[in-house]
Amino acid sequence: MDARTCAISLKIPDNEAYTAMRALERLGVTLGRVERADILLFRQSDDERSLRARIEHDERLFNPNKHRLDLFADARPRPGEAWIERLDMPEELPMQPYVSWRLFDADGSPVTPGQLERACELLLCNSAIERAIR
């Protein structure tokens, strides 16, 4: 079966995203909002309902009091989003984990590819141990 992509993000305020936004602004990248999520790309999975149930019942991945779960049809970042992949992750994992950073301008629109590239280079991705997927 095709791979499925899920994003697990916080319902509560995300201090890490806020800190990243402030740091990027000090580095010259003007933003309106930053969202962070854990992206899990399941290489083999059940139907959407079964996958959702499996994730929501796994306490290591999901806490319903603080997390939101979204499933996506595409296994690629959305506009204004970069997935950060650790280069030292084993290939045999049942799912591929990423950290998603989605950046928005002051009007609430996703940032341009150039702004996203700059943010990744300045702060969001350590190219010695990570790779940014845009």
Q: How confident is the model at residue 94 (pLDDT cuts 50, 70, 90)?
A: low
Total-model pTM: 0.89
In the predicted structure, residue 2 carries a pLDDT above the cut 90 = no
84 in Cβ contact with 131 (< 8 Å): yes
Round the average pLDDT of the chain to a whole number and report it.
91
Domain boundaries, the chain: 4-133
CA-based max dimension of the chain: 45
Pairing of strands 4-10, 67-72: antiparallel
Tokens of 124: 């969001």
Which of residues 80 and 46 earns the better pLDDT score? Answer: 80
Tens digits of residue pLDDT in 18-73: 999 999 999 999 999 999 999 998 866 668 888 899 899 999 999 999 999 999 87
At residue 42, φ and ψ (nearest 5 deg) are: -85, 120
Reduced to 3 states (helix: H, G, I; strand: E, B; else coil), residue 125 is: coil
pLDDT at position 51 is 87
Distance separating alpha carbons of residues 87 and 115, to the nearest angstrom: 23
Amino acid at 103: L
